[in-house]
Amino acid sequence: MIVAEKQRVAKRFGKQIQSYKKYATVQKNICDRVIAILLQHSLTPAQVLEIGCGTGFLTEQFLTQFNVQSYMANDIAAEMGTELQRISLITGQTIDFLPGDAETIALDKQFDTILSTSTLQWFHNISGFFGKMHNMLRDRGIFAFSTFGTENFREITTLTNQSLAYSSAEELCALLADNFHVLHCETYCKTLFFNEAVDVLRHIKQTGVNNLSASLWTNSRLQQFSTAYRDLFYTNNGFTLTYNPIIIVAKKIS
């Protein structure tokens, strides 16, 4: 397992804004699902914090569905502030942008709703982050998030022996158990198909989700990778790439 180099992550996402918006279909669909789940729970959010807002997939959908008193959105990539300005104009709701690393930023505020999608997999101390979110939530506040599980990018892990330190849904729920009541937990796999193995790597680059070292891809290594990918992960529909989303909605225990 490898630990995310957060400054490299921030730089990469800051450079891939437009391609992320175009190609990150799995992440956008996760946001669709999170919103659908939240609507089932009849929320009346007032003070909202979003962690890892990115290009604003969740931000825009949430503010389209819910009227709030205040909305603060955080992201480690400062470039995302421009995307939030665009979303604020579309939704007619003010968004306060807070750039920086959510694991280390200090906020002297409390919220009734905290949201995050496709972000926690980059964090170094999930248990500590959950404790921080508990402290920032009002009693009975809602913490809704998505991340990715142990089957995420299993093809890449198999061929390179490199992976983020993904947690399972069961492990995440266990970490939440002392301070939260889990209202909803689901995990599933979504497989994308590509014409060539190199298209898999191109997709990963376009969506900014790669944590592999650039030095890995010499011409000979790329050829070896492509051959091995065909041998192991080629189907009648093309070369596979597996995503493993986890979605959890939890309520703070008073």
Eight-class DSSP state of 153:
T
Question: Which pLDDT band, with edges at 50, 70 and 90, does 114 fall under?
Answer: very high
pLDDT higher than 80, residue 111: yes
Distance CA 104, CA 82 (A): 23
pLDDT of residue 13: 75
Tell me which architecture the domain covering 6-193+243-252 has in CATH: 3-Layer(aba) Sandwich (3.40)
pLDDT of residue 12: 73
Mean local confidence (pLDDT), 209-231: 81
Identify the CA nearest to 187 among candidates 220, 147, 153. Answer: 147
Length of the chain in terms of residues written: 254
pLDDT of residue 211: 58
pLDDT of residue 42: 86
Eight-class DSSP state of 246:
E
Which residue ranges make up each domain of the chain? 6-193+243-252
**Lowest model confidence (mean pLDDT) among 12-26, 48-62, 136-150, 155-169:** 12-26
What is the widest separation between alpha-carbon atoms in the chain?
57
Percent of the chain at pLDDT > 90 equals 80
pLDDT higher than 70, residue 147: yes
pLDDT of residue 162: 86
pLDDT higher than 70, residue 17: yes
Percent of the chain at pLDDT > 70 equals 95
Question: Which pLDDT band, with edges at 50, 70 and 90, does 217 fall under?
Answer: confident
pLDDT of residue 146: 98
Question: Which pLDDT band, with edges at 50, 70 and 90, does 4 fall under?
Answer: low
pLDDT of residue 150: 97
Distance CA 121, CA 117 (A): 10
Cβ-contact 29, 117 below 8 angstroms: no
pLDDT of residue 108: 86
pLDDT of residue 213: 56
- Interval 172-183: pLDDT, tens: 999 999 999 999
Tokens representing 7 are: 């400054």
Q: Where do runs of H (alpha helix) occur along the chain? A: 6-15, 17-23, 25-40, 57-65, 80-91, 126-136, 154-160, 169-176, 197-206, 219-233
pLDDT higher than 70, residue 2: no
Average pLDDT along the chain: 92
pLDDT higher than 60, residue 3: no
pLDDT higher than 60, residue 215: no
Q: Which residues, 6+ apart, have CB-to-CB distance to 112 below 8 Å?
A: 45, 46, 47, 48, 137, 138, 141, 142
Mean local confidence (pLDDT), 192-217: 82
Tokens representing 47 are: 């003070």
pTM of the complete model: 0.94
